[in-house]
Structure 1
């Protein structure tokens, strides 16, 4: 009897161990299986949005300073960049907005502008070949406030204002995008409107409009190059070069707009920035020191500063 009971207990133990071993093997096999993600978990985002805000402030005061200089100086420059990029399949849509404004105030000169720009660009493209897109582009450039030249004897002379000028450009062409950092847009057919919404400037025929008219339309060829480079973990460089040739009036005189931004990150919220802009437009007349027209010249603007920076 005892022998039979012992045999039954041993049999039950062996069966139990075998069942546990099979269960452990099944659990290991399940754990080794690759977990499959839903399509939503692996989907690539179609929109990429963000922006950058910079604010630079400088102040200085002199009192009984033997070396000389202005008694008081104050300057403020600000810059805001917003972007929204769309990419899905063969479709791409790039949107970019740059807003800049700056002023400087000194005891001897008073308040003057240091920077002033509104630049909105939207470009849609459909990929027709690897890295080549059939694209349409719209660009608007103007400024916020009145601008003045300061001849030595005549005080100040108004030279520009809000929508005086404004450049509205619509273009169809091919866009070459070999990577995310470079694009080359070429268009043989581009329409550009030069708007001068100021009575005094339009009556003088400023910016190429017929005296008394507030706009002029130009048809020509257009080229735009955009490039972005991470120079290091803390330094970036961004540039854009636009060229336009007016078929209807002196096509050999090519309008140039070239903007460059070098940004160096000092801390999380402090950046050093260098901005260099160059413009040449044969229809824009400069003002000499004696107040007379100096004809078209290369326009150059350079700003460097250290200030607050917030990226989002």
Structure 2
């Protein structure tokens, strides 16, 4: 009986020691610090934000010897939004840019000086540290009617919503050397040029045959996007698009370049500079007979409201 009692005591003590060791091991596991890999971005799913600017200026003259318009008013607004998705090897970039501006004077009346609606969506799958296989969709047009003004105070309608409009779809490679720059290259891209307005369609503008409302093009496409805070109070966003139409004059490359520079001056007050450069070989509305293509340049500088979010 004594032997049995001694044996039970030894077994019970052994169980207590084993349990105590297990508890200590579990406690060490739960209390240890887990180091996160600096390259681990699994927690970054969506990153969203944008920039909104509003610039207003007004001037009045009365009995002014140097001359000028009695009244001038200009307004320019830009809304630039982005939504970026990152998860494992997947990345999806979405940007939406809307810009509108007009100027009114007593001598020329009201005219718009800016009008742009641009949506870009790009999905990529990483196959190397800086390279993705990617697909891209882009829609670009203007929102309101645009006119060409003549010296005899007459005007001619030259643009409208979806006149022209551009819808582009492509498959290619996306090069990302860092988080601010993306360079997308596609040897096969399809683009539809749309002229929805019937009066403009009859004129055969923007490369769309007269009487037709759309025209398809096949070509090569390159786009480079840059978005970065250059300094604490300075933000720059730029994009360059290049398209070569294999079907017609591939050597004449269409160029679209947009630039937005915002410098914060005080709280919500900022200096903004918007520069656009466009060349479209099919936009032949310039020259003496309105049959030439030319490089289009636009620069808008102003001080006003600027909100980042």
Tell me whether the two structures share a fold, i.e. TM-score over 0.5.
Answer: yes
Q: Distance in 1 between matches of 2:91 and 2:121?
A: 11
Task: Tell me which residue corresponds to 1:236.
Answer: 235
Task: Tell me which residue corresponds to 1:281.
Answer: 280
Structure 1 SS opposite 2:206: helix
- 1:95-130 CA-to-partner distances (Å, cap 9, x unmatched) read 000011111000000000011000000000000111
Whether contact under 8 Å (1:151, 1:287) holds in the other structure is: no
Q: Which of the residues 289, 303, 309 maps onto 2:300?
A: 303
Give unmatched runs, 5+ long, in structure 2. 1-26, 36-40
Task: Tell me which residue corresponds to 2:105.
Answer: 106
Give 1:44 shift.
1.8
Give 1:51 shift.
1.6
Task: Tell me which residue corresponds to 1:125.
Answer: 124
Give 1:236 shift.
2.0
Q: Distance in 2 between matches of 1:227 and 1:84?
A: 14
- How many pairs does the alignment contain? 277
Task: Tell me which residue corresponds to 1:11.
Answer: none
TM-score normalised to the size of structure 1?
0.85
Q: Distance in 2 between matches of 1:171 and 1:165?
A: 20
Aligned 1:66-145 pairs, distance under 5 A: 66-145=65-144
- 1:35-83 CA-to-partner distances (Å, cap 9, x unmatched) read 779xxxx962310011221111000101111111100000111111111
Write out the 4+ residue segments of structure 1 that deviate beyond 2 Å after TM superposition. 33-37, 228-231
Structure 1 SS opposite 2:121: strand
2:261 is equivalent to residue 258 of structure 1: no
Task: Tell me which residue corresponds to 2:14.
Answer: none
Whether contact under 8 Å (1:56, 1:308) holds in the other structure is: yes
Greater C-alpha Rg: 1
Q: Distance in 2 between matches of 1:224 and 1:104?
A: 31
Give 1:229 shift.
3.5
Task: Tell me which residue corresponds to 1:20.
Answer: none
Q: Distance in 2 between matches of 1:34 and 1:54?
A: 49
Whether contact under 8 Å (1:242, 1:258) holds in the other structure is: yes
Q: Distance in 2 between matches of 1:68 and 1:167?
A: 43
Q: Distance in 1 between matches of 2:271 and 2:116?
A: 20
Q: Distance in 2 between matches of 1:43 and 1:168?
A: 33
- 1:110-161 CA-to-partner distances (Å, cap 9, x unmatched) read 0000110000000000001111000000000001100011121261111100
Q: Distance in 2 between matches of 1:169 and 1:272?
A: 33
